[in-house]
Amino acid sequence: RCFPVLVHSPSLNLCLLFRVRRLLFLSEPRPLTPESLEVSINSTCQCLHLQWSIHSLPHHQELQMIFQIQISRITTSSVVWVGNYSTTVKENQILQWSWESELPLECATHFVRIRSVMDDARFPKPRSWSKWSSWEEVDAQDSLGHNALFVFPKDKLVEEGSSVTFCYVSRSNLNNVSCYLDGEQIHGEQLTPNVSTFHLSHVRYKRTTGTNIYCEMKQGRKLAGTVLYVSRTEVLEEPKNFSCETQDLKTLKCTWDPGSDTALTIQPSSNYTLFESFSQKKKVCEDRNWCSWQVTQDSQEMYNFTLMTENYLRKRSVNLVFKLTHRAVRPMTPLNFILENINSRNATVTWKVRPIGNSTFQCQVELHHDGQVIQTKQQNNVFIKVNGKYLLSEMEPDTHYLARVRCAYGNHFWKWSEWIDQKFTTLEADAGDLFSIWSKVCFEMIIGIFDIFFQPLSKSHANGEILFYNIAVESLDKSSKFNLSIPAPHNDTKLTLNKYSYQIHVTANNSMGTSPASVIVIPGEPGHKEIEEERVKGTENRFSLSWEPQSRDAIGYVVEWCDHPQDPLCGLQWQKLGPNTTSTVISSDAFEQGVRYNFRIYEISPGWIASLLEKKTGYSQELPPSDNPQVTTSSLTSHSFTLNWKDYSTESQPGFIRGYNVYLKSKMEQCTSGFERITPSDDSAGCRHKIDNPEQKTFHVENLEPASSYEFFVTAYTSAGDGPNGTFTKVTTPDEYTRMLTHIVVPVILCILLITVLFYFQIQWMKEKCYPDIPDPYKSSVLSLIKSKENTHLTIMNLKDCIPDAIEVVNKPEGSRTQPLGTGKPLTETELTKPATYLYLLPTQENPSGSGPCICFENFTYNQAASDLGSSGHVPVPPSTPPSQLGLLYSPENLLKALEKYYTNSLGEIPAGETHLNYVSQLASPMPGDKDSLPTDPPVQAQCSEYKMQMAVPLGPASSPPSEDTSLSS
């Protein structure tokens, strides 16, 4: 340090002069104005790029300076941004700086100027700003071209949720332009006469292909547009799990997780750069998730890596500092992994590692079976250089295994190498263990059917593949035995033997030998002890069983059950237990909810005879009943009825039936006695009666109201709840008085019906006896008799063939006389109105002496009208009287014709009150000849039985005789 002392030394004078000049420089710094300012436009990023320099730095020093930048838009007075930029400046150094514009640079003219101030501690304050540089103008519209319409920016890429500004530039009037965002019109703000802007806030991601924005000029249909690309929120993720490692101390491999790729169609993929700060080296990585780095040969131990990633929107970086030999060495995968000396229990594994200098390695060996690690050995105290060796022991014969090994850097453990593995199989051994056998016996008459089951040995006990089973059967009552073989994998057989006791030996055989024999004894006469079944409760897939020993000399117990009791092949299972065991837990993956399982516990005597000890049944988990009883009603009265469900089976249900619930609904608010009021899930009030006895399958509902409607429903319940919901059945009680009336009216109606039926049959009987029906002559057997006499010209009921013997006048009125029929005197009008007079032609006596054949029949006639008059007269005609004498009364021929005439008249022509039922009986004459004339000789009477020829006709004038062909029939 120099002091201001007055001396006359030349060197001292120089020191003083330097100090003075230095103080003058530091006390009066001159502002340095930036020079050579240049401004350019980058349309891709919408940035203004500035560069400038400082030419006259004092004494060529490096100074810390601050530059203030001012940016205006449209005019220099419209300042839109002002900011400072601090940096270290060297003389004539070209400085650069960029500014990103929210408004597309093509939408307006921009102006930039800059000034500076020294920010170095060597200069005292206060410090003053330099002068502003001149305004630099930049206008992108000069290079747009001659199109009438433009939209900016082109293909903009932003993050989701950010804001963006668009504009259109028109060469004509702005009123003719309309703009649209995804087809919806948007309205903007006019910036200059030819430019309008649109500001979009909080833009959302829509699609990877972007959102269309276009403007349309109405005149000439000019279109211009752009695409807005919106990226997800995480545009660029920070790399994760960044690490570096080496396997040979020559090359480092750095890896990381790049995260999801959010690049759009316009956005290029991210690039990654690896920078090491100690060596100041940089490498651009070609892959997204790893990069290699050559280890320097100058024994550099420490490394400081920076992984940088960037894309269009963001930059990310992570750091990693480590010591090469402590945290970066991961050995390569071991080599030459070999298994040697493999037998049924042991095997030896050998391997090699790639050396790293003179380093040692720590290795780990694992043994796997069925995907699980069963042995692992980490050699913590033994280190290998190149070769490794390990003995695998305690393995099972004829079993598949997988052995594998890996190693780590022994000096400073960091990471294990990759695994190397190999599969192998141990050799077989003698089947040296006992296996379990069981038998089911069914005796039929004098023979027994034996089902013998045996559980296959596990792989750990079989010592190899079982080829067959040998069964030796020996009779204990007779000296006889025989053998048979069952090929594997069958595990059961059926034997039909006599009803004796047998001892059965079963052995298993593989390629190496035979197992010890398993023995079971089957008695010839099994006991028939009745044992009550006990209920047990299971939990999930297991049952806990316990029992009381029956004898002290038992050598063991067997628990028997079926995994699938509902199948014909139930899947018989059993478990053998020791003599000191009185409880066990039976578990099986086959146990299902709602299935009843039956367990049988047998006690094994010293003679290998099994006797049933206890029975148990239960469910692993009970379920509600699967169905409801089918209920019928009976004994319906005005106050009660009975429900029956006797056919309901409780054995097939998915739970123990504990009882039944009887639900009853009615319009009354109060429940009948024995019922409690409940509100089911459907909010409909009802009554319930609970039956706790599952064997009770009838229920009598009492204390009901007459002429009322009730609805009932019966369901069973288990410990899990009621059965399924069902439909209520409606029943209506009868009216009490209606029932009483029914008991009276029904018997009366039945009695009336019985009397009516009896009376009807009595009338029919009386009619048959007193008023028989008149037979139809044409249906009579007389006709067949006539035809048999070969008188085929005779017919029945022909009036011309009938000869009357006598005439009887019936119902002759008082004061009147019988008018001779032959007189021909017409009847007066008064006489015509008188009651009718009937003539009956009756035989007067039998003449058995007469000769010649005759046919006669009897016809009983009942005339109610005639009988009521009470008067009759008889005119006898002697049989000897010739036919000509009959003309005194009336000519027979004329009489018959008259009769025929009157009879053949329609009943409608006879006046009311004069119609009478007329019965005519006639005798067919057997005389041959012309039927139109009477024979001149008197007819000879044949021997005939008594008969009556009766004719009832009304008396009246005989008008013109009827036609000769007319006949009378009835």
Average pLDDT over residues 835-846: 43
If you count them, how many residues does the chain have? 970
631 CB neighbour count, 10 Å cutoff: 21
Q: Is residue 18 part of a domain?
A: no
Same domain, 459 and 608: yes
Same domain, 296 and 339: no
Weakest-pLDDT range from 294-303, 627-636, 921-930: 921-930
Weakest-pLDDT range from 252-256, 891-895, 942-946: 942-946
Q: Give the domain-ending residue among 102, 121, 142.
A: 142
Q: How would you class 548 by CB atoms within 10 Å of its CB: exposed for 0-12, middle for 13-18, buried for 19 or more?
A: exposed
Q: Check whether 459 has a pLDDT greater than 50.
A: yes
8 A C-beta contact, residue 576 and residue 558: yes
Residue 651's SS3 state is coil
pLDDT single digits (tens) 146-199: 788 889 988 888 888 889 999 988 877 667 788 999 888 888 888 888 889 999
489 CB neighbour count, 10 Å cutoff: 9
Q: Check whether 910 has a pLDDT greater than 50.
A: no
Dihedrals phi, psi of 290, to nearest 5 degrees: -160, 160
Same domain, 454 and 477: yes
Most confidently modeled range among 56-70, 371-385, 787-801: 56-70
Same domain, 364 and 462: no
Q: Please report, as a single letter, which amino acid is at residue 555.
A: I
Cα 224 to Cα 222: distance, rounded to the nearest angstrom? 7
Cα 914 to Cα 703: distance, rounded to the nearest angstrom? 75
Cα 93 to Cα 36: distance, rounded to the nearest angstrom? 11
**959: its two tokens:** 């008008």
Q: Is residue 778 part of a domain?
A: no
8 A C-beta contact, residue 676 and residue 662: no
Q: Is residue 790 part of a domain?
A: no
Task: Give the per-residue pLDDT at 514.
Answer: 77
Cα 234 to Cα 271: distance, rounded to the nearest angstrom? 16
Q: Give the domain-ending residue among 739, 764, 789.
A: 739
Task: Give the per-residue pLDDT at 809.
Answer: 54
Task: Give the per-residue pLDDT at 423.
Answer: 93
8 A C-beta contact, residue 603 and residue 549: yes
Average pLDDT over residues 456-470: 71
Task: Give the per-residue pLDDT at 934.
Answer: 41
Does 706 sit behind a cis peptide bond, omega within 30 degrees of 0 on the bond before it? no
Same domain, 463 and 577: yes
Cα 278 to Cα 296: distance, rounded to the nearest angstrom? 12
Cα 951 to Cα 900: distance, rounded to the nearest angstrom? 11
**851: its two tokens:** 């000769």
Average pLDDT over residues 889-895: 47
Residue 71's SS3 state is strand
pTM of the model: 0.41
Weakest-pLDDT range from 518-532, 600-614, 837-851, 893-907: 837-851
Ramachandran region, residue 505 (left: φ > 0; alpha: ψ -120 to 50; beta: rest): beta
Q: Check whether 112 has a pLDDT greater than 90.
A: yes
Q: Check whether 698 has a pLDDT greater than 90.
A: yes
Cα 62 to Cα 88: distance, rounded to the nearest angstrom? 7
pLDDT greater at residue 127 or residue 235: 127
Alpha-carbon separation of residue 273 from 196, 208, 316, 323, 577 (angstroms): 42, 27, 11, 21, 72
469 — pLDDT class (breaks 50, 70, 90): confident
Residue 759's SS3 state is helix
Does 153 sit behind a cis peptide bond, omega within 30 degrees of 0 on the bond before it? yes
Same domain, 135 and 211: no
Average pLDDT over residues 110-127: 85
Same domain, 36 and 132: yes
Q: Is residue 840 part of a domain?
A: no
Q: Check whether 313 has a pLDDT greater than 80.
A: no
pLDDT cut 70: percent of the chain above it: 69
5 — pLDDT class (breaks 50, 70, 90): very low
Q: What Rg value do the Cα atoms of the chain yield, rounded?
A: 69
Q: Is residue 431 part of a domain?
A: no
Q: How would you class 407 by CB atoms within 10 Å of its CB: exposed for 0-12, middle for 13-18, buried for 19 or more?
A: buried
Average pLDDT over residues 379-403: 81
670 — pLDDT class (breaks 50, 70, 90): confident
CA angle in degrees (0–180, nearest 5) for 329-331-335:
170
Q: Is residue 820 part of a domain?
A: no
Task: Give the per-residue pLDDT at 726.
Answer: 86
Q: Check whether 810 has a pLDDT greater than 90.
A: no
Same domain, 465 and 611: yes
Q: Give the domain-ending residue among 703, 720, 739.
A: 739
Q: What range defines the domain where residue 314 resides?
A: 240-323
| CATH code of the domain containing 574 | 2.60.40.10
8 A C-beta contact, residue 571 and residue 564: yes
Same domain, 580 and 635: no
Q: If you write DSSP's letter for every residue of 955-968 in order, what string do you get?
A: -----SPPPTT---
8 A C-beta contact, residue 492 and residue 484: no
Task: Give the per-residue pLDDT at 682.
Answer: 59
Q: Is residue 670 part of a domain?
A: yes
Q: How would you class 86 by CB atoms within 10 Å of its CB: exposed for 0-12, middle for 13-18, buried for 19 or more?
A: exposed
Q: Check whether 143 has a pLDDT greater than 90.
A: no
Task: Give the per-residue pLDDT at 265.
Answer: 58
Same domain, 198 and 97: no
**Overall number of domains in the chain:** 6
CA angle in degrees (0–180, nearest 5) for 700-705-710:
65
Q: How would you class 431 by CB atoms within 10 Å of its CB: exposed for 0-12, middle for 13-18, buried for 19 or more?
A: buried
Same domain, 255 and 360: no
Same domain, 227 and 263: no
Q: Is residue 432 part of a domain?
A: no
